[in-house]
Structure 1
Amino acid sequence: MSRETDAVLQLLGQHEAQILTEWMQEAGANASRVTEAGRRAMRTDAEEILRGVREALGGGGDPDAFQSPQWNTLRGALESLSRSRAAQGQSAGDTSAFVLAFKRPLFALIEREVREQPMAAAWTVSLLADRMAQWTVSTYQHTREDLIRRQQQDLLELSTPVIKLFEGVLAVPMIGTLDSARTQVVMETLLQRIVETGSRLAIIDITGVPTVDTLVAQHLLKTVSAIRLMGAECIISGIRPQIAQTIVHLGIDLQGIASKSSLADALTLAMEQQGFVITRRQV
């Protein structure tokens, strides 16, 4: 353990209560907008961080090697802090500012208490606080990215519902752009529902799909192929005149796949294939 690290560790052990109090003041814990529960949470977070710092420095941890095992406890405390604040809607800047507020009380103590190489001790504190702040920002970004991915997945699933129209017939009304990720969700959800319901026919309605290009057509063909491998058949509805012209122009072969211009026509065909006869009731 270096002399400056030992000096910082002694300050943390001898003046913990003072450091915590001044840290909270610097972090704005006494502001009128902070509730009493918020103040207690901030102090608890600070105590966990200080515990991790003492453990790491006492075990010979070097701030320049912040990824080393000695810093595991501290990194865990910072990750918990960052995830908690991200879930509360606070920004990465707010979290890192809270961590950086750790510097001021330590600098004041170093200036007052450390006689040998105070600048080296101050540099150790500054480097450590910067590493801590960087770690919280990195964790915050990963947390937000995971949240966005989960929300995107949820939106994909919500935007591609599989509806049971009647016994043996399912329908998937599609709205918006059809890309690889969405096609995969449609395929997995539809195949799962075919297994669950024992349906023999699926209607894919693309009325709400704005454009159909080669990639979209390939996605549709893959979905139809997967449905057929499950022993079911497929009808594509919503083939508007513009889409029909585009499909012909691109030379896409949809032979063998039933297609209709509207969902109503597809439903009529599906009922006929299931042996139902539609008649108008006399009034």
Structure 2
Amino acid sequence: MSKGTGDAHLPELLRSKRDAVLDRWVELAVAGVRGRITESELRTELSELYGLIERSAGGEGEAAGEIRAALSEISRARARQGFSPSETAVSVFALKQAVLEQVGAVGDVAAYSEFAGFSAEIDDLGLVTFETYAAAREQVIADQMEQLLELSTPVVKLWEGILGVPLVGTLDSARTQVVMETLLERLVETGSQFAVIDITGVPAVDTEVAQHLLKTVMAARLMGTECVISGIRPQIAQTIVALGIEFGDIPTKGSLADALAWALERSGSRVVAGAGG
């Protein structure tokens, strides 16, 4: 976009028709964002971009990098706000129509011949918005997945010195890492000596799931915590036997209640049923 001033007509048109082009650009872009940001906010963004594009068209080489930086920031903001890639890029592409209308109105043949190069530059900037948007959206999704993992792997206090880790759904490598980190953090905070890992909500146990469970137990043991696995239903037990999975010396129980009773007994605590009223 940096042809230099010289006899170039399009840079002069961008300067002399700035208000008309900018107004039309904002008008076209407002339709694309569907009211999710205000016209005032959009005008502020596009005014900054227009100034940079005007400088670049006038031959300022450093303005090109500033344009891409500004577009990248706008694209990241759009990704966080939930805009689609098309809605994000339309604000850039709309500039071509706004400029072309002014070129036609002025009737400057030289400016029209320069428009092809200008259009190609705007297309490149549009690609910048797509690429930045895609990367930002992937990061948003990754952050949301991490938050969901943390919410789906709570570590709760069942009794004094006893923590519970109720697992629901598939246990994969990423989730195992979150479980271990959350459990170890809680062990440091509470100094608990026992942890009950309940897999009642895990639909199936295969060799991979068993390995993930073993990793979690070993990590807790390194912290001095004894673990028991509960929720071993009959069909789960049959699968474990059929696969030849060995839990070694890790105690397993059929229900959370049995596991809690085991942990209470090991900790020296005793639950006494109250007398009926």
TM-score (ref. length: structure 2):
0.90
Which residues of 2 match residues 83-232 of structure 1 at below 5 A?
A: 83-111=76-104, 112=106, 114-116=108-110, 118-119=112-113, 121-232=114-225
1:124–1:81 distance in 2 versus 1, CA, 3 Å: same
Give per-residue Cα distances to partners, 1:16-73, cap 9 Å, x unaligned: 1111112223335699x759x7111121121011122123334554xxxxxxx64221
The equivalent position to 1:20 in structure 2, one of 4, 22, 32, is 22
1:266–1:204 distance in 2 versus 1, CA, 3 Å: same
Which residues of 2 match residues 6-85 of structure 1 at below 5 A?
A: 6-28=8-30, 34=35, 38-61=38-61, 70-85=63-78
Q: Unaligned 5+ residue runs, structure 1? A: 62-68
Q: Distance in 2 between matches of 1:29 and 1:155?
A: 34
Q: Distance in 1 between matches of 2:118 and 2:130?
A: 18
Q: Distance in 1 between matches of 2:5 and 2:205?
A: 67
Shift of 1:2: 3.1
Q: Which moved more, 1:13-22 or 1:218-227?
A: 13-22
1:59–1:200 distance in 2 versus 1, CA, 3 Å: farther
Q: Distance in 2 between matches of 1:266 and 1:30?
A: 58
Shift of 1:224: 0.9
- Tell me the secondary structure at the aligned position of residue 110 of structure 2: coil
1:199–1:2 distance in 2 versus 1, CA, 3 Å: same
| Percent of residue pairs bearing the same amino acid type | 47
Shift of 1:217: 0.3
Q: Which moved more, 1:168-177 or 1:125-134?
A: 125-134
Q: Which moved more, 1:178-187 or 1:238-247?
A: 238-247
Q: Distance in 2 between matches of 1:165 and 1:26?
A: 59
- Tell me the secondary structure at the aligned position of residue 161 of structure 1: coil
Shift of 1:88: 3.1
Q: Distance in 2 between matches of 1:255 and 1:80?
A: 53
Aligned to 1:278: 271
Checking the alignment, whether the CA contact within 8 Å between 1:169 and 1:203 is kept in structure 2 is yes
Task: Kindly tell me the number of residue pairs found equivalent between the two proteins.
Answer: 273
Aligned to 1:2: 3
Q: Distance in 1 between matches of 2:140 and 2:9?
A: 41
1:24 is matched by which residue type in structure 2? V
Checking the alignment, whether the CA contact within 8 Å between 2:52 and 2:63 is kept in structure 1 is no
Shift of 1:223: 0.9
Q: Unaligned 5+ residue runs, structure 2? A: none
Q: State whether structure 2 residue 249 is matched by structure 1 residue 247.
A: no
Q: Distance in 1 between matches of 2:165 and 2:171?
A: 13
Q: Distance in 2 between matches of 1:282 and 1:15?
A: 90
Shift of 1:84: 2.8
CA RMSD, 1 decimal: 2.4
Shift of 1:117: 6.8
Aligned to 1:256: 249
Shift of 1:109: 3.3
- Tell me the secondary structure at the aligned position of residue 116 of structure 1: helix
1:4–1:102 distance in 2 versus 1, CA, 3 Å: farther
